[in-house]
Structure 1
Amino acid sequence: MVGGACNTWLQSAIPQIPTTTIAPFLHSPPKHATILPPPPSFSLPRPKTHNQHRHFCTTTTTQHLFSSSNHNHHHHQQQQQQQPLFPLTSLSESSSAPLLDNFDTIYSLLRRSVHYTGINVTKALHVSILKLHEDTHLGNALIVAYLKQGFVLDAYKVFNGLSCPDVVSYSSLISAFAKSNREIEAAKLFCRMRRSGVEPNEYSFVAILTACVRSLESHWGLQIHVLVIKMGYLDSVFVANALMGLYSKCGDCLDNVLKLFYEMPQRDIASWNTVISSVVKELMYEKAFGLFRDMQRSDGFRVDHFTLSTLLTACTGSNTIMEGREAHAHAIRIGLENHLSVNNALMGFYTKYGSVKDVVALFERLPVRDIITWTEMVMAYMEFGLVEKAVETFNRMPERNSVSYNALLAGLCRNGEVWKALDLFIKMTKEGAELTDFTLTSVLNACGTLTEVKISEQIHGFIVKFGFGSNACIEAALLDMCTRCGRMLDAEKMLLRWPPDQDSSVIQTSMICGYARNGQPDEAMSVFLRSQLEGTMIMDEVASTSVLGVCGTLGFHEIGELIHCHAIKTGLSSDLGVGNSIISMYSKSYNMNGAIKAFNNMPRHDIVSWNCLIAGHLLHRHGDEALAVWSRMEQAGLKPDAITFVLIISAYRHTNSNLVDDCRTLFLSMIKTYYIEPTLEHYASFAGVLGYWGLLEEAEEMIIKMPFEPKASAWRALLDTCRIHLNTSIGKRVAKRIIAIEPQDPSMYVLVSNLYSASGRWHCSEMVRDDMRKRGFRKHPARSWVIQKCKVHSFYARDKSHPQAKDIYSGLEILLLECLKSGYVPDTSFVLHEVEEHQKKTFLFYHSAKLAATCGLLMTKQGEPIRVVKNILLCGDCHTFLKYASLVSSRDILLRDTSGFHCFSNGHCSCKDYW
């Protein structure tokens, strides 16, 4: 297990502990060298009167604290001249204490002082013991009495006064140091014991291994492991359990845990609990269930609260709902349902796979609740979208810690309550609450969601001022916030400042996502490819998930496939996050069959996996297929979340037949069956479905009657369907509402203008555009790109920056002539410029989508489809042009915009001109 250095250490019997921590002790000469300061002079409190003590002594039961200490009174009289345990500076105040020379009586009194009378009696007995000759067993009893009452310093003084401390003396102190977060002193004392010639026993090994576990010093534990083997204590259940606990806590040592477990000649319940919790920690849930079955079959142990809590954690993480319910039933059967830790685990399980009523019932049934119980309740309310209930529960908590604050903070961010999250963060700083990495990354995520530049700069300054920015995790979150707020120059500076000797995987991953988010796909891919050439990015689960997400956003199918292959080769594909990203990448990269295959090959699924598959079908406008996946998900017994219902409601817009009644039923079942309160996104999706199927008045009425103030997104969904059905009367009312809510949103003016243009009301369209120009609004710049030979070719309107721009423009002119001959009529209503008609056509002909499609036609082989991505909704004229382009070129053109996929083939589009 360890190399030659450990063998040398074994020969000298002195552990090789780092000299930076205990070197001063190793070089100190006397064997009684002290670790703690020398005992100060003090006076003990005056004891009770002699008669009181005699009465107290006669009522005690004569027992030994240690079974090995059996001494008679005559034997101790012969050694009365020996040195006391340690001399007091003055005995004047305690000289009236009775001389208790019956050792059995002193043992019994020490035991009673621990359980009934307290430290004053222990110290009075200490005075009496000082007047006797030294006895190691009695000294050990005194050490134990002090330790059980929490007086470690006093126990250590007694220990230092012993001329010949034995293994019990050492083991007691080592254990006490380990449990009081003084692991270095525990290690030094173990070294001292070995050097003094006292051989450790199983209790000594358990004590020093406890210190190793608490300090997470696995290299210490390796050396102790070797000594355990050498001295023959590996067969001890307690020592083997302690070693397994060490390897379990130190990470990447599961093989050692399993090897120790399978080689144990005898096991107890702690052995099984340790190995089961170890595999659960490594997310090996099926292995955990198998071990549990082996435990019941081979050893027949009765499970305890720790076993059940661990199994429920495994059920929560592995989507095994039936096993979780069986564990609950088993807890009821053996009377552990109301055990605090079991109930807390049950609350976590039903938060994910039950209803809020289930969790509340568990919470209210508990007579005693700890901080974990209250925090689980806060998390449950947040999970079910009941923000006010979560805040109310948080305010009722009798005590809070950083985990409680973080649960509330993360829940507020997850439920879109960004301003409340920032207010909570300010409250935490004022109250002096502990700011952990999780706290800071959550508030940075909130700022990124808010996209407020000024607020992001203030939070950035706060973190830098108080020195949190040196943490790599927080630095990456800072960079991510900067990219979300459009502060790309600041993000680039942070990337350039990154120390070359530190792992840059996380920050490079954030930068790649930032570039992609801000419409800079070239830069995103440049950072990724450069990192691979320089070997500066480790493709772990996080990096793979992030880069796959970027590949999906860009439609970079080739790089996505390479990362998929790498994930399979390295075993990362079994990770849920990576597997879900692979599904999303394929579905966004025109390969729905690849997404379905990736889903079917996953060893297990969570709710995100199913949501990714449904979202992929919606991107391809496969509403019926999305509903089929939803049916399979229900049959699997998996509980849907709020996002699932947003997706499924939207699926009814893309079905081959009008299923609005089914959509209404689903909307009601979300509330009554799954206890999910509809949010703005649910109402917006439902409005989009009603509007798509021509029920515009019903959609408008539903938005007006929403239980909360409707936001622009709901009205915008209705306005978009008004454009499809050319209903300008409702569209005008809706537009006024959107302008009142978001008067600074330029995209709304574009939608209204397009609505008027589509219905032939050119004068109204020009009035909207004129108002837009007067307000100084500019439409978000449209950008389109194609990917050819692992290179991104991107274009803006009338863009001539491409190296082959001359050829692309020449090709587009030829394509335009062919399309015009085939019947294409340019729709100049989509041009927002006050110019002559022939100039409008010139502007219209060189939109980004036309340039990108022409580039793709020129660079791909005959028979290969052209894949184009556009960062905004495709305009009507480009949609018409691409239909004719697919006809005259006899090539399929696949285009993804913000509404989903368009498959142009032989003059037709898969969206049926409704998008």
Structure 2
Amino acid sequence: MAALIQPSATLPSPSLLPKLSSSSSSPSFSLPLPKPRLLQSAAADTAASASTQFLLPLPQPCRSESRRLFASEPFDGPPPPDAAGSSLTDDCFDLLRFSVRCGDVDLAKAVHAVVLRQELEENPSLGNALIVAYLKLGRTSDAYSVFDGLPHPNVVSYTAVVSGLAKADRGLEAVEVFFRLMGSGIHPNEYSFVAILTACIRLTELELGLQVHALVAKTGYLESTFVSNALMGMYNKCECLDSALELFDEMPRRDVASWNTVVSGLVKGQMYERAFESFRQMDQIDGFRVDYMMLSVLLTACIDTSSLIRGKEIHAHAIRIGMETDLSVSNALIGFYIKCGNIDNVEALFEKMVTRDVITWTEMIRAYAEFGLIDMALEMFHIMPEKNCVSRNALLAGLCKNGKASEVLDLFISMVEDGLELTDYTLTTVAKACGLLGAGKLSEQLQGFIIKFGPLANACVEAALLDMCTHCGRMVDAGKMFKRWPFEWDSSIICTSMICGYARNGLPDEAILLFCRCKVEGSIILDEVASTSILGVCGTLGSDKMGEQIHCHVLKSGLFSDLEVSNSLISMYSKCWNMDAAKKVFNIMPAHDVVSWNGLIAGFIIHRRGDDALSVWSNLHDAGIKPDKISILLVISAYKYTKMCLVDECCRFFSSIQTEFDMEPSQEHYTSFVGVLGFWGFLELAEKTISNMPFEPEASVWRALLDGCRIHSNAILGKRVIKHLLLMEPRDPSTYVLVANLYSASGRWHCSETVRKEMRVKGFQKQPSRSWVIHQDKIISFYTRDKSHSQAKDIYSGLEILISECQKAGYVPDTSFVLQEVGEHQKMDFLFYHSAKLAAAFGLLMNRPGKPIKIVKNISVCGDCHQFLKYTSAITNRQILLRDASGFHYFSSGRCSCNDRW
């Protein structure tokens, strides 16, 4: 608002009022002008049928109980007992209260009809009672109609309507009515100020809130704790924590709600230590006892900081003051132990709860899903006494999180068939599950269903559909969605999704170009989500220069305190050959969670520094951070890359997973463990481990053993493993490719072609080998025998010279890596122009002498290319750094950091 609101100023017509700053695209206020009498239409359909039965007094217990319903409403009160019609008026009051208690809209309308029929509308208290009753019954339009027909609305009338409209998320209309209050010459009271501040909170309208604060100060209502609490809530919502704290310090009187508001603001602003200090001061300064809201907020702080010890202290305090049995506190404790405890903590709480609600049961579903016990989550869902869309969505999310994408789709189909409520969260979760499956045809069907579904189409759903398309390789369709994205919707989400989609589908050039274009156009806001996503792209591409630029932006914009952003920085630097920078980011982070520690451990593992990874794991344990299943998976993998063989220690660790960490080893854990055993040559023990698995081993476990057979040239065991793989029905494209290649390697070309044909029928595609280098801030990519580069002639000439020199030094091409049925000469031609060799040749031609050549490859490097790069590093005296699907290879002086074991 352009000018400060004056308490007795005559305001312009509502249609001339300026627009709110947070809703610049919204129309000016346009509510109808006041009407001379109470609106008849709201009760016209019941006026004729209103009978004397509604005029009978309620039984005394009901009357006394119903009076308490409106005890907090700012009524003027009924007319004096000797006034005409006082008995009828009292009955109307009681019946309105009773209608609210029973949720009976028809009864309220009947009373409204009686009021009109008996000409009691001149009584302002009764009109106000009708307004409040309609508002409590969710009939906001009827309430406003009554208000609009009042001949002489008072401050209670205006306040009730402003409050009702604000709570119904009709904030702009609430503001308009407040302006009408000010223009009428009526002075607002403390309830009026709380009502308009509620509208400011819902609209996140700081400018108006500041003016209301000034008016509150002028009229002396800052003395009201009620009003000051509302002002602090407004400042918290508008992210003006300093103003909220200043107001709190100046309050002459505070209540529990005041402390709750300020602690909530501190937690929201990530000022956790000050929040806990305020909690301790609450009793010392004002002598207030903590309530359920304070405990819930503090538990949120414990979750944000992954502080198990502090959370247990809050739990102990709740027990001491007898609030552990409070339903809200118990639900908050379950949420805390889901993030920071274990399933035993959660189950113990659940069993002790005397009262449970749908939130409790839903949290238990979430708990079991979070700890990977998806069967228990399903059982909990089936036995819970009451289900709603939130509980169903929790199960959908849990299934999706645990990789049960097919089950997500089955549950979704059953929800559709049963006619159950589908929310935007439901649709986004199903779209994510479809993306996990990578099934193109299915994704088209789901998209068609959602388009027909219609009403729930919004930015979140559309963004999820676009992301689904990118996961299913439908980049053309994703591009079409991107181009027709509505102008009025937030474009930052869709830009981020599209950039990540390009990177995910091996189109790094498009990802970088789109990012640069969006930055210039201002269509992407580098907030926490976008910064995290773009840092992920930088890590995928190995673009350390762009990653450093995003890091600078993160520091300047104050985003470094966000855990997801700082965790993404660790991952980005570790993937961009810079573990020193990753460690530095970790060390200066204000707080860590399990993802932070996992990121650092993973970084050391992809650099094949197992001892450093195990050292970080020890520190994680000492810091009291609860490891998750990813942590356990990473620790097992670390034993693969230790300087000395520590297989015995790895076996002890693996056998303790269930007892020490309260989790059952999964397929992924067995795959990693078998990989460690195979890497160090314990092939018989690895095979025995697979045969003793408590569930059917998936193809990934057998592939891990086959990799060990390859490293140690164990052809006999390798053949047995191949038989297992061939007997299994392939469930993903990589398994199809492996089986086809195994047939090719044994010369069974017809069988290989049959498998590849089946892949084509099912829509699976082999990921093409691609290698790239970053030159002058541009991604230079190469496929096998790629001649698309403008300098292809020079690149091929240089590569041929390089191959010749390497052969002179002892390099012998290994044609067994060519799996096509062609002659030996053609195999050599295929082999010489692999993408990694082309990228290495380009890097040597374009980079100044002495500068390392950095190459990124989207799949694991083949043995022949590995040998070639070793010889190249020797004859050129250049360091070649390669990152492939297995990790980093540092080639120098004819040697590789992996010691030819990867």
Coarse TM-score class (shorter-chain normalised): 0.7 to 0.9
| Aligned match for 1:23, one of 20, 30, 33 | 30
Partner of 1:672: 659
Partner of 2:745: 765
Assess, with a 3 A threshold, how the Cα gap between structure 1 residues 774 and 23 changes in structure 2: closer, same or farther: closer
| Aligned match for 1:203, one of 172, 180, 191 | 191
In structure 2, distance between residues paired with 1:830 and 1:71? 97
Post-superposition shift, 1:454?
1.0
1:318 aligns with 2:325: no
Partner of 1:569: 556
Assess, with a 3 A threshold, how the Cα gap between structure 1 residues 215 and 555 changes in structure 2: closer, same or farther: closer
One-letter amino acid of the structure 2 residue matched with residue 772 of structure 1: S
Partner of 1:96: none
Partner of 1:862: 849
In structure 1, distance between residues paired with 2:813 and 2:646? 36
What per-residue deviation string (whole Å, max 9, x for no partner) do you get for residues 370-395 of structure 1? 12111111100000111111111112
Post-superposition shift, 1:847?
1.6
| Aligned match for 2:479, one of 479, 492, 511 | 492
1:227 aligns with 2:227: no
Assess, with a 3 A threshold, how the Cα gap between structure 1 residues 132 and 863 changes in structure 2: closer, same or farther: closer
> What SS does the corresponding residue of 1:767 show, helix, strand or coil?
coil
What per-residue deviation string (whole Å, max 9, x for no partner) do you get for residues 371-426 of structure 1? 21111111000001111111111122222232212211111001011111111112
Conserved? CA contact 2:266–2:274, under 8 Å: yes
In structure 2, distance between residues paired with 1:109 and 1:456? 57
| Aligned match for 1:379, one of 345, 363, 366 | 366
Partner of 2:580: 593
Post-superposition shift, 1:144?
10
Partner of 2:881: 894
Conserved? CA contact 1:45–1:124, under 8 Å: no
Conserved? CA contact 1:783–1:848, under 8 Å: yes
In structure 1, distance between residues paired with 2:334 and 2:357? 13
Conserved? CA contact 1:139–1:162, under 8 Å: no
1:240 aligns with 2:239: no
In structure 1, distance between residues paired with 2:431 and 2:111? 58
One-letter amino acid of the structure 1 residue matched with residue 218 of structure 2: K
In structure 2, distance between residues paired with 1:581 and 1:497? 30
1:539 aligns with 2:519: no
Post-superposition shift, 1:113?
8.4
Post-superposition shift, 1:287?
3.9
One-letter amino acid of the structure 1 residue matched with residue 311 of structure 2: G
| Aligned match for 1:449, one of 428, 436, 439 | 436
What per-residue deviation string (whole Å, max 9, x for no partner) do you get for residues 29-59 of structure 1? 75x6759847745644359999x99xx99xx
1:358 aligns with 2:357: no
Assess, with a 3 A threshold, how the Cα gap between structure 1 residues 70 and 837 changes in structure 2: closer, same or farther: closer
In structure 1, distance between residues paired with 2:56 and 2:412? 59
In structure 2, distance between residues paired with 1:560 and 1:138? 65
In structure 2, distance between residues paired with 1:879 and 1:72? 97
Post-superposition shift, 1:149?
9.2
Say which is worse superposed, 227-236 or 677-686, in terms of deviation.
Answer: 227-236
Aligned length in residues: 873
Post-superposition shift, 1:163?
7.2
Alignment of 1:483-522 (within 5 A): 483-499=470-486, 502-522=489-509
In structure 2, distance between residues paired with 1:505 and 1:912? 45
In structure 2, distance between residues paired with 1:262 and 1:405? 44
Partner of 1:88: none
| Aligned match for 2:715, one of 724, 728, 740 | 728
In structure 1, distance between residues paired with 2:155 and 2:284? 39
Assess, with a 3 A threshold, how the Cα gap between structure 1 residues 681 and 649 changes in structure 2: closer, same or farther: same
In structure 1, distance between residues paired with 2:691 and 2:156? 78
What per-residue deviation string (whole Å, max 9, x for no partner) do you get for residues 748-770 of structure 1? 587689899xxxxxxx9342456
Post-superposition shift, 1:871?
1.5
One-letter amino acid of the structure 1 residue matched with residue 769 of structure 2: A
1:686 aligns with 2:666: no
One-letter amino acid of the structure 2 residue matched with residue 238 of structure 1: F
What per-residue deviation string (whole Å, max 9, x for no partner) do you get for residues 642-674 of structure 1? 111111111111111222222222223321122
One-letter amino acid of the structure 2 residue matched with residue 771 of structure 1: C
What per-residue deviation string (whole Å, max 9, x for no partner) do you get for residues 545-587 of structure 1? 1111111111111111111112112222222111111111111
One-letter amino acid of the structure 1 residue matched with residue 334 of structure 2: M
Post-superposition shift, 1:177?
6.3
Alignment of 1:6-21 (within 5 A): 6=5, 10-12=9-11, 16=17
Alignment of 1:343-742 (within 5 A): 343-467=330-454, 470-499=457-486, 502-742=489-729
Partner of 1:267: 254
1:825 aligns with 2:793: no
Say which is worse superposed, 775-784 or 699-708, in terms of deviation.
Answer: 775-784
Assess, with a 3 A threshold, how the Cα gap between structure 1 residues 264 and 888 changes in structure 2: closer, same or farther: same
Conserved? CA contact 1:735–1:748, under 8 Å: no
Partner of 1:851: 838
Partner of 1:760: none
Partner of 2:761: none
Assess, with a 3 A threshold, how the Cα gap between structure 1 residues 747 and 382 changes in structure 2: closer, same or farther: closer
Conserved? CA contact 2:740–2:751, under 8 Å: no
When the two chains are superposed, the root-mean-square deviation of aligned CA atoms in Å is 4.1
Partner of 1:761: none
Partner of 2:760: none
In structure 1, distance between residues paired with 2:138 and 2:553? 57
In structure 1, distance between residues paired with 2:448 and 2:272? 43
Post-superposition shift, 1:11?
4.9
Conserved? CA contact 2:745–2:819, under 8 Å: no
In structure 1, distance between residues paired with 2:168 and 2:481? 41
Partner of 2:798: 811
Assess, with a 3 A threshold, how the Cα gap between structure 1 residues 258 and 768 changes in structure 2: closer, same or farther: farther
Post-superposition shift, 1:28?
3.6
In structure 2, distance between residues paired with 1:852 and 1:124? 83
Conserved? CA contact 1:483–1:515, under 8 Å: yes
In structure 2, stretches of 5+ residues that fail to align are 20-25, 758-764
Partner of 1:337: 324
In structure 1, distance between residues paired with 2:728 and 2:98? 73
Post-superposition shift, 1:111?
13
Conserved? CA contact 2:267–2:275, under 8 Å: yes
One-letter amino acid of the structure 2 residue matched with residue 767 of structure 1: G
Assess, with a 3 A threshold, how the Cα gap between structure 1 residues 112 and 489 changes in structure 2: closer, same or farther: closer
Say which is worse superposed, 732-741 or 376-385, in terms of deviation.
Answer: 732-741
Identity score, percent: 54
Partner of 2:276: 289
What per-residue deviation string (whole Å, max 9, x for no partner) do you get for residues 163-184 of structure 1? 7665456556655666677767
Conserved? CA contact 2:678–2:705, under 8 Å: yes
One-letter amino acid of the structure 1 residue matched with residue 751 of structure 2: D
Assess, with a 3 A threshold, how the Cα gap between structure 1 residues 379 and 501 changes in structure 2: closer, same or farther: closer
Post-superposition shift, 1:112?
11
> What SS does the corresponding residue of 1:338 show, helix, strand or coil?
coil
Conserved? CA contact 2:543–2:576, under 8 Å: yes
In structure 2, distance between residues paired with 1:149 and 1:576? 41
1:3 aligns with 2:10: no
TM-score (norm 2): 0.87
In structure 1, distance between residues paired with 2:586 and 2:580? 10
TM-score (norm 1): 0.85
In structure 2, distance between residues paired with 1:313 and 1:204? 32
> What SS does the corresponding residue of 1:234 show, helix, strand or coil?
helix
What per-residue deviation string (whole Å, max 9, x for no partner) do you get for residues 733-757 of structure 1? 111111222458775587689899x
Post-superposition shift, 1:289?
2.4
Assess, with a 3 A threshold, how the Cα gap between structure 1 residues 563 and 733 changes in structure 2: closer, same or farther: same
One-letter amino acid of the structure 2 residue matched with residue 436 of structure 1: T
In structure 2, distance between residues paired with 1:297 and 1:13? 50
Post-superposition shift, 1:484?
1.2
One-letter amino acid of the structure 1 residue matched with residue 222 of structure 2: L
One-letter amino acid of the structure 2 residue matched with residue 794 of structure 1: S
